[in-house]
Amino acid sequence: MTRMHSGLLRVVVAATVMLALVSVSRSAFAAAADTYKSKCAMCHGADGKGNTPVGKKMGVHDFSSPEVQKMSDDELGLIIAKGKNKMPGYEKSMKDADVKEMVTYIRQLGK
């Protein structure tokens, strides 16, 4: 194999790997969105502002608030997994990877 073909092969392989990772990431993000809609939106609202009857009653936090935005991903993940105050934990129904994707989804809502 010539040096040029070898370099081209590396570029093609790298591009293929990157496309596969992007595809997995989009799929995981879509799954997090579905989970959010089914488990979280009732209280936190579709936009993450907490402006729902249940959210207002429970005092949920707006994901764009400074209080939430200053939390680390690990802190948010722990709240999702273990729950906090009146919020139930989801560690029994969500895998660690699912919790991490939910943190990513919540961060996107807070922007």
pTM, two decimals, is 0.75
Q: Is the pLDDT of residue 23 over 80?
A: no
DSSP state of 48: S
Distances (CA, A) of 75 to 11, 72, 94: 38, 5, 16
Contacts 24+ apart (CB under 8 A), 26-31: 28/97, 28/101, 29/101, 29/104, 29/105, 31/98, 31/101
Q: List, for residues 57-86, the tens digit of each pLDDT value.
A: 999 999 999 999 899 999 999 999 999 999
The H or E element that residue 82 is part of is: helix 73-82
